[in-house]
Amino acid sequence: MGHAHCCTVLLIVFLALQQAAGFWLFDVFPSSFKTQNKVPNNSTPPVLIVPGTAGNQLEAKIDKPSRVHWMCYKKTDDFFTLWIDLNMFMPIGINCWIDNIRIVYNRTTRKSSNSAGVSVRVPGFGQTYTVEFLDNHKLSGYFNNMVTHLVNMGYVRNESVRAAPYDFRVAPNEQEEYFARLKKLIEDMYERDQQPLYILGHSMGSNYILYFLYQQTQAWKDKYIKGFISLGAPWGGAVKTLRVLASGENLGIPLVSNIKIREQQRMTTTNPWMLPFEEVWPTDHVFISTPLFNYTRQDYQRFFKDIDFEDGWFMWEDTRNLTAGLPPPGVEMYCFYGVGLPTPVTYIYDDQFPNADPIDYVYADGDDTVDSLSLGLCKRWRGKQAQPVHVKEFRSMPHMEIVLNRKVINVVQSILEGRYGEEDSTLMN
């Protein structure tokens, strides 16, 4: 592959990522936050970041019994970048990529595993680089603005600000090792700074944190966690997940159809987990409308059967009660999310369902990806726990931009510096 071809691929990736939206997390504009030489500040509490789905790098090593295309590698000597991998943006490369990143679900054991001959690992646990940029070329920035701002406040990468990336293909019910490492990392950060820390999550990362907190004793939480800052958390799941599972969403990638990318989007247990939660939506709300049937939250089994993805029903059964009832987290809570943007809550299909895109949408309020009904469920926790619950809605703030936005980052700074007041909890315009 020549230099010119490589540059063309990078340009395609750059343009594609600018179009990507929703749960797939990208900001491909160069960081506007520049690092300044700052003396480390030992007075502010440490910060631990848990990213959203697809919000950290993955690596793979392969020694496969067969390949899906003669151009695909069958064996590699070492680990290579799987997410984000430039090959996924090429017409043939995407077949290789899907076969490498997919999980295999076993209905009998109710467990998932990697594709045969594929080993997947999460690089950089405890470090920030894997969530600051999702590719080695630093095209797809994610938490870079946030981390750079914290460094300018006096935080030190991989010491007082750290990250806990995870295998976002797999739901929390199969993440025992990850949660054990997460607990140890929190305790290590506490010991280093001799003070409790803030844990900061974006999107589905906040759902991961909530599940983790449910597993801990109140005494442990009181000792180690100063507060939980959530940005754009889909506490009650997201309607968009149904569209992704039904007909796919190509994330704006050129040359790749929605149906093709659907292959990969169905090969995770986290997508079924994020189906709209039963306790949130009215029983008669139609999420997917087709000429033959209207699907509500009572029709998930039929939905999975009709889209020819019956494994999804078992995956959903495995994960549906992981945060059942949404009891309060038992730590001081800062729940921030965007409102005021049209967000699909019903997808309307013609008779080509599920093998064609929706032909129309019904919108409600939200952050363009998650509806405000789900985002605002944290309001339920006010008065239900001893610790304060702060809720702030950011007007016209998209789901992805909340991680990058200066106004939001400044509010996070006010929390870390102990300046956040109830008077700030009004709507921000």
Catalytic residue set: 203, 367, 399
- The rounded distance, in Å, linking the Cα atoms of 129 and 127 is 6
Residue 357 CA to chain centroid, in angstroms?
Answer: 23
- The rounded distance, in Å, linking the Cα atoms of 52 and 41 is 27
- The rounded distance, in Å, linking the Cα atoms of 189 and 48 is 9
Per the DSSP assignment, residues forming a β-bridge with 158 are: none
Q: Choose among 113, 111, 81: nearest CA to 97.
A: 81
Whether the link from the prior residue into 84 is cis, omega within 30° of 0, is: yes
The length of the chain is 429
Residue 248 CA to chain centroid, in angstroms?
Answer: 17
- For 97, 202, 254, 372, 379, the CA distances from 337, given in Å and listed in that order, are 33, 10, 30, 8, 12
- The rounded distance, in Å, linking the Cα atoms of 215 and 307 is 35
User: b/e per residue, 130-161, with b = 16+ CB within 10 A?
Assistant: bbbbbbeeebbbbbbbbbbbbbebebebeebb
Q: Choose among 65, 84, 88: nearest CA to 75.
A: 65
Query: What is the number of other CB atoms lying within 10 angstroms of the CB of residue 427?
Result: 10
What is the phi/psi pair of residue 340, to 5°?
Answer: 85, 10
